[in-house]
Homo-oligomer: A and B are copies of this chain.
Amino acid sequence: MKLSEEKLSSEKVFGGRIFDVCVDVVALPDGGRAVRECVRHPGGAAVLFVRDGSIALVKQFRYLYGEELYEIPAGKLDAGEDPRSAALRELEEETGYRAAECKHIMDIYPTPGYTDEVIHIYCVESARFVGQNLDEGEFLGVEFVPADEVAAMIFRGEIKDSKTICAVLAHFFGKTLPKKA
């Protein structure tokens, strides 16, 4: 059975700076109806920046969790912005490193039950320091941590951000295990 849900109606219940929220009514495959609460987000871009075997981590206070988190550099796409450009822009703004190119690692869906956000993840291995340039109200520190230690931090529960875990473990996977075609 090919599964799908058809939109019958959509009500925008919140319009924000970061996301909107819509409550949609859908027709189910069996003809029934269901309500879908939808966070509509423009998408994000993130960069695994590896320099001399170390990974750039930004440490910032995340209000939603009430704690400082380690994450790879990342941010929201501006309207109409190409994800690759956004990734390089965020890398430079947050770490001060400017890169000419980046390699696509993967796109992830952070939590598909209620948001449509796509996080586009890239890898940068060559960049030059030009100076940090943070958004207003953005406070963060940058640390270069050896890749093995970053992996250990994940397994000790010290890194919990999903895009960071996906990017770092994919990096190790690519370096150590054969990929199938």
Contact = CB atoms under 8 A, between A and B. Distances in A.
Interface string A150-174: 0110110100111101100110111
Interface in A13-56: 13-14, 16-19, 21, 23-24, 26, 28-30, 32, 34-39, 41, 44
B179 A176 contact: no
Copies in the complex: 2
23 contacts: A1-B139, A3-B139, A19-B37, A34-B137, A38-B63, A39-B115, A41-B114, A44-B113, A64-B115, A65-B112, A69-B109, A106-B165, A107-B157, A109-B160, A109-B162, A111-B162, A111-B163, A149-B180, A152-B179, A162-B165, A165-B169, A169-B173, A173-B173
Main secondary structure of the interface of A (DSSP, over half): mixed
Interface residues of A, number: 77
